[in-house]
Amino acid sequence: MANWNSDSNCIILRHDVDLHVKPAFDLACLEKECGIESSFLFLVNADGYNPLSKINRTMIKQIADWGFDVGLHFDPTMYPTFDVNSLKKHVDFESQIISDITQKEVKSISLHNPSIYNQYPIFDGYVNAYSNTLFSNENYISDSCMSFRGKDIFTFFDKQIDKPFQLLLHPLHFSETGGDYNSIFTYFARTFLSYIENDFRGNVTYNEQVKTPLQDQF
């Protein structure tokens, strides 16, 4: 997103990371091998992951070091007002958290679940995924809810228009097995439990009480 050319009808590939950093890292590995440039946007207040944890920080930093655009996935509902001026302070603060991880300036921003509240604030100083230039029925397609809403993605990109196309693919939807949400969330739960297992296996009481690794119990 950060380097798109407004004079071309390029495809902007965007990844909002909602649940788990590891699928984003795996997808970045694949795209790197294929020579694909894309944007990965991370939440700083996600319930499912902490971007500042050692393992997540390492993966996010690596994605940025590979040359991918790493930006902010911003959730306005975390704050008491949708006033743009008030929210801008939080955007800048959260962007600085991402910058601290990547050691690079955050240039791109996307909103988390904006359609739920039908609110699309635009923030100066950033490339906004939901700006009028990048977001319309004619040039935007998303796999939200693991569906393209009846659109054929290949036919959609065959259109010839003067605007850039924006494609949103959520990393959590993609795996080697191509599973449904049951397998996706089972994988997430097992991975999260493995982090707990690694942290607590040095605890004597934990070792006495938890004989079978947590991730193997589910």
Closest residue by Cα to residue 70 from 21, 10, 118, 33: 21
Same domain, yes or no: 38 and 138? yes
Q: For residue 44, give its domain range.
A: 11-145+162-173
SS3 38: coil
Least-confidence region, from 2-16, 90-104, 114-128:
2-16
pLDDT band at 179 (very low <50, low <70, confident <90, very high): confident
The per-residue pLDDT for 168 is 95
To the question of pTM greater than 0.75 for the whole model, the response is: yes
Query: Would 6 be classed as within a structural domain?
Result: no
Query: Would 152 be classed as within a structural domain?
Result: no
Same domain, yes or no: 50 and 102? yes
Same domain, yes or no: 194 and 168? no
Cα separations (Å) of 144 from 46, 110, 172?
A: 17, 14, 11
Query: Would 76 be classed as within a structural domain?
Result: yes
Query: Would 29 be classed as within a structural domain?
Result: yes
For 55-65, the pLDDT digits (tens) are: 999 999 999 99
Percent of the chain with pLDDT over 70: 96
pLDDT band at 133 (very low <50, low <70, confident <90, very high): confident
The per-residue pLDDT for 7 is 63
Same domain, yes or no: 49 and 94? yes
Same domain, yes or no: 125 and 73? yes
Closest residue by Cα to residue 163 from 121, 142, 135: 135
The answer to whether the CB of 49 falls within 8 A of the CB of 18 is: no
The per-residue pLDDT for 160 is 57
- For residue 99, what is the domain's CATH number? 3.20.20.370
